[in-house]
Every structure is written in C-alpha cells, then in structure tokens.
Amino acid sequence: MDKASKGYIGKMGEKTAVAFLANDGHLILDTNYRKPWGELDIVTQKWGIVHFVEVKTVQRDLEILSHGGYQSWYEASENMHLWKRKRLARVIATYIEERFGSRKGEPRWQLDLLLVYLDLEAGRAKIESLDDLELL
C-alpha cells in the first residue's frame, strides 16, 4: 500500500491510536467492528467504562503544527456530523446487544474521538483526544 494513500494513513492512525490507548491503561476489546450500517474503529474498556473510539487521521508536518500552523484547516469535531452520529448510535447499540446482551444490563459507555496527526517524514505522531462526546 502506498504510504501517501488515504488507506495507509488511516491504518497507521488506527495502529497509533491503539498503542496510545493501551499505553493509557485501556483494555482493547475490539478494532474495526463492522456491520452493514456502520463501523466502530476501536472499542476499549477502562475503569469499568466501555469507550467507543472514533479515529480521524491526517498527515501533517508536526514541526509546523507545533509552531501554531494548521490551526484553521481542520476541526476534528466537524467530522462528527449528525448522520455519522446516527450511524454510530446504531452500531454501538448492536455492539452492546451482541457483547453484553440483557444479562448484565447496558454497561456504562462513552463516545470518544481521537485525532491523530501523522508526520510520516519524521516518523512521529501527535494525538488529540475529545472524550465523552454526545452521540445525538
């Protein structure tokens, strides 16, 4: 896969996010959980809370980013449109039903967004986290 391709950058971003979350004490439950109506990038658990983590990855020069560049080019939360949240709501409900069922009741959960900035030239990454977003 070409290193400049959107697919490669997305895969690298998700791998980086998984490592970041595991290092932060999250137990990784699933990655790339797919249904015809949507996908969950990463599902983790930490302190009894299930985290449904959406990952958005972009390639940027981190040196420019660290000096205040790119401030207006992308706001991660803008990519969480209402239609995206509706799809996530349906796939989260499916995941909870399949994995937890009605035996134990619905677990405590939240939706998180990780924005991964990849600098492929320097071999570095920066991650910003938006936690506990409203689903709808």
pLDDT value at position 64?
Answer: 58
Mean pLDDT over all residues of the chain?
A: 84
Q: At residue 129, does pLDDT exceed 50?
A: yes
For residue range 51-97, what is the model confidence (pLDDT) as tens digits? 999 998 887 766 555 555 555 445 555 667 788 888 999 999 999 99
Structural contact between residues 14 and 7, judged by C-beta atoms closer than 8 angstroms: no
Confidence band of 43 (pLDDT split at 50, 70, 90): very high
pLDDT value at position 65?
Answer: 53
Residue boundaries of the structural domains of the chain: 6-125
3-state helix, strand, coil in the chain (%, to 5): 35, 35, 30
Q: At residue 41, does pLDDT exceed 90?
A: yes
Rounded CA-CA distance 111/49 in Å is 10
Q: Report residue 100 as tokens.
A: 């937890």
pLDDT value at position 73?
Answer: 47
Query: What's this model's pTM, rounded to 2 decimal places?
Result: 0.85
pLDDT value at position 75?
Answer: 57
Residue type for 21, please? L
Q: At residue 1, does pLDDT exceed 60?
A: no
Fold of 6-125: Trna Endonuclease; Chain: A, domain 1 (3.40.1350)
